[in-house]
Amino acid sequence: MQTINEKAYRQRWTALAFICLALLAVSFNETTINVALPSIAKDMQASSSDLMWVVNAYIIVFASLLLPMGSSGDRYGRKLFLVIGLALLSITSALACYSGSIEALIAMRGLMGIASAMIMPSTLSILSATFTDKKERSQAIAIWAATLGLGAVGTVLGGWVLENFSSTSVFFVNVPLAIIAIIGGYFFISNSKDEHAPSIDLPGVALSIIGMVALAFGIINAGEIGWSDPVVIKSLGSAIVFLAAFCYWESRTKNPMLPLSLFKNRSFSLSTMAIVIDVFTLAGVSFFFPQFIQTVLGYSAFQSGLAILPLSAVVVICSTLSAKLVGRWGVKKVIVCALMSSTIGLLFMIATFGVDTSYLVLLISLIFMGMGSGILTAPATDSAMSTVPISKAGVGSATNNAVISLGGALGVAVLGSVMNSNYISELHKYADLHLLPLDVYNTIKSGVVGAHQFAAYITHPQLQSQFIIYVNQAFVSGMKSALLVDAALVFLTAIAIYRLLPDMSQMAKKDGEDSIRREVVTPQQSGTQ
């Protein structure tokens, strides 16, 4: 009779399929919302700030709870948390379809963040526990990373749903994926946990959540009311205090939620930083690109999803090739080249971007960014996770994902704020707008979608055309400012990786494998006991 370890080993690739399906449900939850934002803005009269909260309510809760959920999965069972998270995601996604207001939708998005925080660290920690062979685990992580890239397919499905149903119906896309993953995971995924996992760090959870919410609130509102506004200053000041207190507490407590010692290893900290800036870029661009292509270029929601699909295809293809590139050139060179590819894509978009830019020109930029993201994710994730002992896989995975999710939240908040601030600044040059009633002016100022809604009420064809051209130019100006900030950050990160990531990063991976072998009984060994 075979042992549990032998069974897990034999079913490892089937288990990976359902792990990836669970990951795809989370990824669809993050991508379908982007293509739905313009429709949500129209149907619910939502401002640009409201749209940022629709995105960030999910990301903030997700990022804040990843660490406690990861450590809880280590303690009580990773498969258990995966299944519960999938069930919660399917329920909250179904409820979100019936949201009657922007406030209700934001609340549902927050609940989805709880579900995804249970799922995401479970997928990577189960993968790390299942694939103990170095070569196989690298291949499995490459497939895991490619699955993240497939999330962009959700924009196509979401676009089709939007053309046939209501703006909130896109959330139903997650439901069948989650249900199938629950059934398959129950039969093929083996449970694992850390028998000596510490108790949950409740003070750390509270401090991190308060700090994250204050940070996002301050940055999002800065784009609308200005960085010098007292509300923004107080919010950002509170964020600094609470996040500093969080770091202090984590460095002193016996059982930290965020093991700061992980960041002493350059392979972990610098690889994670590279993924953070990549997610920062994709989250920011994905936030305003659908608004541009639907509102300014006039694409339908379905066409918008198809327009983003090549980005997903490039990410998937490059993810599958990343392991070979690392084998030939090493982790350091591959990560630097990936970041430079993203930089080229951003700079090309800045140089060619305009209100009448064709999609084919934008496609070149998307291909370069897709190449960068696809090549980077798998080797950087593998480099980071290889330094974490298998008994702490949940905490290590959650730490990696929490910091990455913070990058996603900041990408939407910072780049969205820069874009919105510049958009409003350009609108101020249009002197006639100040003559409009305050509520009308606020609608125009809320974002390009609101401005186009107002344009529909302008009866004079020439004035309507001039107004649309002006607001489109203001929106494009805001996007170019955000892209310039992003390009600078990506380039500086590439320089930092080149200068600071050790050439012996592969040695760090070997050391991580040695620690795994010391802690885990291999399937062959278990069969002899």
pLDDT tens for 359-374 read 888 889 989 998 998 8
Q: For 138-183, how does the pLDDT look when each residue is reduced to its tens digit (9 = 90+)?
A: 778 778 877 876 776 777 888 888 888 888 888 888 899 899 999 9
pLDDT digits (tens, 9 = 90+) for 96-148: 988 888 899 999 999 999 998 888 878 877 887 778 777 787 778 778 877 87
pLDDT band at 238 (very low <50, low <70, confident <90, very high): very high
> What is the rounded average pLDDT for all residues in the chain?
80
The angle at the Cα of 377, spanning 375 to 378, to the nearest 5 degrees, equals 85
- Assign 282 a pLDDT band (cuts: 50, 70, 90): confident
The reported pLDDT for the residue numbered 86 is: 94
Q: Which amino acid is at 442?
A: N
* 185 vs 354: CA distance, rounded Å: 47
Do 109 and 57 touch, CB atoms closer than 8 A?
Answer: yes
| 216 and 233 Cβ atoms separated by less than 8 Å | no
**pLDDT at residue number 70:** 76
Under 8 Å between Cβ of 336 and 503:
no
Predicted local confidence at residue 85, as pLDDT: 93
Q: Which of 88, 136, 145 is nearest to 112 (CA)?
A: 88
CB-based contacts of 129-133 (< 8 A; 24+ apart in sequence)? 129/78, 129/192, 129/390, 129/393, 129/520, 130/8, 130/9, 130/12, 130/15, 130/16, 130/190, 130/192, 131/12, 131/16, 132/390, 132/516, 132/517, 132/520, 132/522
pLDDT (0 to 100) of residue 391? 59
Place of tokens 């399906």: 21
Calculate what percentage of the chain has a pLDDT beyond 70: 87
Res 435: pLDDT = 66
Please state, in angstroms and rounded to a whole number, the distance separating the CA atoms of residues 238 and 411: 20
- Would you place residue 507 in the very low, low, confident or very high pLDDT band (cuts 50, 70, 90)? very low
Q: What is the pLDDT of residue 397?
A: 65
**For residue 294, is pLDDT > 80?**
yes
Three-class secondary structure assignment of 64-75: HHHHHHHHHHHH
For residue 333, is pLDDT > 60? yes
d(CA 109, CA 86): 15
Does the pLDDT of residue 84 top 80, yes or no? yes
421-451 per-position pLDDT tens digit = 888 888 877 756 666 777 777 777 777 877 8
How much of the chain is helix, strand and coil, in % rounded to 5?
85, 0, 15
Q: What is the pLDDT of residue 484?
A: 93
Output the pLDDT for position 405.
Answer: 67
Of the two residues 516 and 9, the one the predictor is more confident about is 9
Residue 287 CA to its chain's centroid (Å) = 11
CA distances to 72, 84, 191, 469 from 77, in Å: 8, 11, 6, 56
Q: How confident is the model at residue 517 (pLDDT cuts 50, 70, 90)?
A: very low
Q: Is the pLDDT of residue 376 over 80?
A: yes
Q: 503 or 52: which carries more pLDDT confidence?
A: 52
- Separate counts of helices (H) and strands (E) for the chain: 21, 0
Instruction: Name the fold adopted by 4-200+257-520.
Output: Growth Hormone; Chain: A; (1.20.1250)
